[in-house]
Amino acid sequence: MPKSRSKRKTTQPPPKAKPKQSPAWVGTLFFSLLGLGVLLIIVNYLGVLPGGTRPVWLLGGLGAMAAAFVLATQWH
């Protein structure tokens, strides 16, 4: 009796390319922006910055934290 041929492919696709590792400055910049944002928000509520508690300082801190999280999506 003849052997049946398998319907599976005998060749394997090439392996997926691994993503490149990010340079060291990406992680450093991420943590620096995150720390700066938290520090700006805390110092704003303490009233130590020039002009007292102003929304500009709060928005600057939130913007720095948002930039850090955007940068974190590019970190491999």
CA 68 – CA 37 distance, rounded (Å): 9
Please state the three-class secondary structure of the chain as a single string: CCCCCCCCCCCCCCCCCCCCCCCHHHHHHHHHHHHHHHHHHHHHHHCCCCCCCCHHHHHHHHHHHHHHHHHHCCCC
pLDDT reported for residue 74: 86
Q: What is the pLDDT of residues 55-69, one digit of tens each?
A: 999 999 999 999 999
Q: Tokens 């049946």, residue?
A: 4
**pLDDT averaged over consecutive 10-residue blocks of the chain (76 residues)?**
66 86 92 96 91 90 97 88
Query: What ranges do the domains of the chain cover?
Result: 40-76
CA diameter of the chain: 93
pTM of the model: 0.72
pLDDT reported for residue 9: 62
